[in-house]
Amino acid sequence: MNEQAGREPAGRAGSEDNFGSFVQKAQALGQLVVQPRMGFSDPSAMRAGLIATRHAAATTVGTITLDSYTRTNQHAAARAALADGTPLNGYPITTFAADMTRRILDGVQDADFPIQVRHGSAAPQRVFAALVRTGLAASEGGPVSYCLPYGPIPLQESVRNWEESCALISGLRTVGIEPHLESFGGCMMGQLCPPSLLVALSVLEALFFRQHGVHSVSLSYAQQTHPEQDEEAVAALRRLARELLGSAGWHVVIYEYMGVYPKTPAGSMLLGEAAARLAIRTGAARLVVKTAAEAVRLPTINENVEALERASAAADGERRQNLPLTTQVSADSQTYAEAKSLVTATLRLSEDIGQALVQAFAQGLLDVPFCLHADNAGRARSYIASSGRLSWSDIGAMPLRGVADVNDDGELTSAGLLDALNYVSRSFDERAVEHPVQRRVARAGTDPLFTVDLSSE
């Protein structure tokens, strides 16, 4: 598995087309897999984006990100927008006929270039059914991480929806395809969530997937406000994963910062390069990349490829320094102790992990700061300490007394909250020195335009 710039697309693969095994093989060869957050409603653009990603000067996997209408099951609205020629902010996989998606994938997806569908739905059954029809085998989300931040669906209902969705995608195993699911739990709310809770939620959702028949999983962690604290968090995540998931069938994925992005291109690039270095230092296998355009608009194909190649180059630079990995150095950190306490308390509630999650939130044993969902207790609060670390100012009913270092004086005012939300953006813009941006041209090819075929599925 060498650098993918010279690969030629092959036909659709069978049982060997496993997202998880591809990433793990790349990691064994010392390669960081980089991935865009790319989605287009135009089939030609979606195919061109996948081809450009495949041919980027990096080790890549593809992404089909779905639109907001599809994510919220407003399928009629998606159909109407397409009929009117209105662009959507992603690919409407349930609106297009399955054959359309297969044509997009044909000659692009294979064992050397698996593709993941990213969506954001607490009720993803129709999305997962569309994946199964088209032979796509990888997705992401989770009953908590795709419920609490995104809408009014009760957590109990989201758990039931995700149980059904896991059953749908795990059925691919009967035709020789191993499905893969990635927990979005390490990215809850994007920002201002102390790392221990992110780690706990990611592990709990991965356990949920395993319990419901999906064997190949990944655990996410989003870059936060303090690099050393992030290193502790990923070390804690890896240790808990080994303890509870075993030594195989999983990997860790880092997300570039999910909150307010820097306003300047130079600041954005510095932030993205820092995420790539974090991935290398912590032994993560995959990095989900953002672009310098994120702060103002949806990025182009070229901008996505440029971000992938820049992240890969930053990762290579960090690796060449031969720095020791920090995965074991900080494994006994406070972050690990807090995350372990949260996971243990949740798992004690029920052998059914979905019901354990519902009960944990009902009792406030899990409590996401600044999350307004009705099923979240809303008592926990966090703040950014003067050191830049995310810390607790109130732990509510979470089982962290005597474990967490709580600062009651850290409670944020409304002005303080706004300042905290912009902390990373401001910090990296201040650090950035403006320099010319070297743009690469995406090798997107010249596929003929598709004829749009709207299904009634």
Percentage of residues in the chain having pLDDT higher than 90 = 73
Average confidence score pLDDT of the chain: 88
Q: Say which DSSP state 247 is in.
A: S
The mean pLDDT value for 346-364 works out to 98
User: 381-401, pLDDT tens digit by residue?
Assistant: 999 999 999 999 999 999 999
* 457 in a structural domain: no
Kindly indicate the confidence band of residue 323, based on its pLDDT and cuts at 50, 70 and 90: low
Q: What is the pLDDT of residue 293?
A: 81
The mean pLDDT value for 17-30 works out to 91
* 408 in a structural domain: no
Residue 54 structural domain:
10-320
292 has a pLDDT exceeding 50: yes
* 386 in a structural domain: no
User: 25-65, pLDDT tens digit by residue?
Assistant: 999 999 999 999 999 999 999 999 999 999 999 999 999 99
Report the domain count for the chain: 1
Q: What is the pLDDT of residue 259?
A: 87
* 429 in a structural domain: no
Q: What is the pLDDT of residue 32?
A: 97
Angle at 61 between CA 37 and CA 160, to 5 degrees: 65
Q: What is the pLDDT of residue 384?
A: 92
* 82 in a structural domain: yes
Q: What is the CATH number for 301?
A: 3.20.20.240
* 356 in a structural domain: no
Q: What is the pLDDT of residue 414?
A: 84
Determine whether 111 is exposed, middle or buried from the number of CB atoms within 10 Å of its CB (0-12, 13-18, 19+).
middle
* Cα separation, 91 vs 64, whole angstroms: 7
* Cα separation, 228 vs 230, whole angstroms: 5
User: 119-172, pLDDT tens digit by residue?
Assistant: 999 999 999 999 999 989 999 999 999 999 987 899 999 999 999 999 999 999
Contact (CB, 8 A) for 111 and 17 = yes
* 450 in a structural domain: no
* 432 in a structural domain: no
Q: What is the pLDDT of residue 4?
A: 41
* pTM greater than 0.95 (yes/no): no
